[in-house]
C-alpha cells in the first residue's frame, strides 16, 4: 500500500509540474505577443475634412474650415461636419483664399482648436472702417487629460481679414467668456475668467477680469479694473 501511495504522489506531482510549465509557456507567449502588438500597432491615420465655404462681402477672402479626424471616427460625425455648422463647430484650422489672385494661407501653424470666430467691424466718426476676425482658440492641454476642450484655457486672438497678423489679446491660463465692441473708441472690451487658484480648472471660484484692446493696433489686453478699485469694493462690503 505504501509503494502504491508513493507512486500516486509521484504521478500527481509530475502532472502538476507539466501543467504549470504549459501554462507558464502560454502566459509568456501571450505576453510577448501583446507587447509585440503594442509596438507594431501603427498610429491611427488622420483625414482632412473641409466645411462649406464662408463668404463675407466685406472681405476679399474666402474661408475654408478645416477639421482633422482619425479614420476610425464615425462617418456620421464626418458627414455632420461636411454640412458645416458655421462658427459653432470646433475647427482645426482655416484656409484663407484671396479672390483676386488665388493665393492661399493657413490661419494657424500649430495644433489647436478654434472654438469660435466672429467678424468685428467698427466705423469711426470720419467713416474709417476697421474689420478684423476675433477667435477663441484652445491650444494647450492645461489640465493634462490628453484632450483639447472647453476645460482648458480658451484664448482670444485677432487677425486681419486675410487670416494673417494673428495676435494674442488675452493672457494664457484664462478663458475668454464674452466681449463687446465700442465703435466710438474703435476698441473691444473682453470678459475673461482666470485660473486664479492655479488648480488647472476654471470654476465659479476663479476670478473674472475685464480687458480693453484697441482694434487699430491689437495687442495683449489691458485690465480696466485696478487693484485699488477691488480693495475699495472689499472694504465697503466688510
235 domain residue, yes or no: no
36 and 89 inside one domain: no
The answer for residues whose C-beta is within 8 angstroms of residue 220's C-beta and 6 or more apart is 168, 169, 170, 171, 213
233 domain residue, yes or no: no
120 domain residue, yes or no: yes
* Beta-sheet strands, E only, within 146-207: 155-159, 167-168, 174-182, 187-194
Mean pLDDT, rounded, for 205-218: 94
Note the pLDDT tens digit of each residue in 103-144.
Answer: 999 999 999 999 999 999 998 777 889 999 999 999 999 998
29 and 60 inside one domain: no
162 domain residue, yes or no: yes
pLDDT at residue 123 in the model: 87
pTM above 0.85, yes or no: no
Evaluate if residue 200 carries a pLDDT over 70.
Answer: yes
pLDDT-derived band at 90 (thresholds 50, 70, 90) equals confident
Residue with cell 482632412: 48
80 and 178 inside one domain: yes
80 and 192 inside one domain: yes
pLDDT at residue 13 in the model: 59
51 and 21 inside one domain: no
89 domain residue, yes or no: yes
DSSP 193: E
Domain end: 41, 56, 73, which one?
41
DSSP 30: H
| Domain residue limits at 94 | 46-228
35 and 139 inside one domain: no
Higher pLDDT, residue 69 or 223 = 223
237 domain residue, yes or no: no
Mean of all residue pLDDT scores within the chain: 83
Note the pLDDT tens digit of each residue in 11-70.
Answer: 555 655 555 555 555 555 555 565 555 555 666 677 899 999 999 999 999 999 999 876
pLDDT at residue 124 in the model: 79
Residue pair 127/153 in contact (Cβ under 8 Å)? The answer is: no
3 and 85 inside one domain: no
Number of domains in the chain: 2
Higher pLDDT, residue 202 or 123 = 202
pLDDT at residue 88 in the model: 42
pLDDT at residue 5 in the model: 60
Note the pLDDT tens digit of each residue in 72-88.
Answer: 544 444 444 443 444 44
234 domain residue, yes or no: no
236 domain residue, yes or no: no
Residue pair 133/152 in contact (Cβ under 8 Å)? The answer is: no
Sign of torsion over alpha carbons 102, 107, 110, 114 = negative
65 and 37 inside one domain: no
Note the pLDDT tens digit of each residue in 141-189.
Answer: 999 899 999 999 999 999 999 999 999 999 999 999 999 999 989 999 9
DSSP codes, 112-132: -EEEEEEEEEEE-TT--EEEE
Q: How many whole angstroms separate alpha carbon 41 and alpha carbon 153?
A: 32
2 and 55 inside one domain: no
pLDDT at residue 6 in the model: 57
139 and 224 inside one domain: yes
77 and 32 inside one domain: no
Mean pLDDT, rounded, for 194-219: 94
8 and 67 inside one domain: no
Amino acid at each position: 500500500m505504501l509503494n502504491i501511495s508513493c507512486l500516486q504522489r509521484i504521478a500527481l506531482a509530475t502532472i502538476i509540474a507539466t501543467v504549470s510549465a504549459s501554462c507558464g509557456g502560454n502566459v509568456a507567449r501571450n505576453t510577448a505577443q501583446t507587447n509585440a502588438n503594442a509596438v507594431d500597432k501603427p498610429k491611427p491615420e488622420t483625414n482632412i475634412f473641409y466645411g462649406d465655404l464662408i463668404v463675407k462681402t466685406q472681405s476679399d477672402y474666402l474661408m475654408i474650415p478645416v477639421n482633422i479626424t482619425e479614420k476610425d471616427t464615425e462617418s456620421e460625425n464626418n458627414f455632420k461636419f461636411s454640412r458645416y455648422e458655421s462658427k459653432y463647430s470646433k475647427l482645426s484650422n482655416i484656409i484663407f483664399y484671396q479672390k483676386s489672385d488665388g493665393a492661399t494661407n493657413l490661419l494657424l501653424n500649430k495644433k489647436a482648436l478654434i472654438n469660435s470666430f466672429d467678424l468685428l467691424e467698427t466705423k469711426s466718426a470720419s467713416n474709417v472702417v476697421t474689420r478684423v476676425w476675433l477667435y477663441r482658440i484652445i491650444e494647450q492641454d492645461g489640465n493634462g487629460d490628453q484632450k483639447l476642450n472647453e476645460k482648458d484655457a480658451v484664448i482670444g486672438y485677432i487677425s486681419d481679414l486675410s487670416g494673417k497678423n494673428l495676435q494674442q489679446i488675452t493672457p494664457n491660463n484664462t478663458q475668454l467668456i464674452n466681449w463687446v465692441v465700442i465703435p466710438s473708441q474703435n476698441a473691444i472690451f473682453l470678459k475673461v475668467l482666470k485660473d486664479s487658484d492655479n488648480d488647472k480648472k476654471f470654476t465659479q471660484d476663479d476670478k473674472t477680469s475685464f480687458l480693453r484692446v484697441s482694434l487699430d493696433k491689437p495687442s495683449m489686453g489691458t485690465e480696466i479694473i485696478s487693484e485699488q478699485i477691488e480693495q475699495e469694493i472689499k472694504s465697503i462690503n466688510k
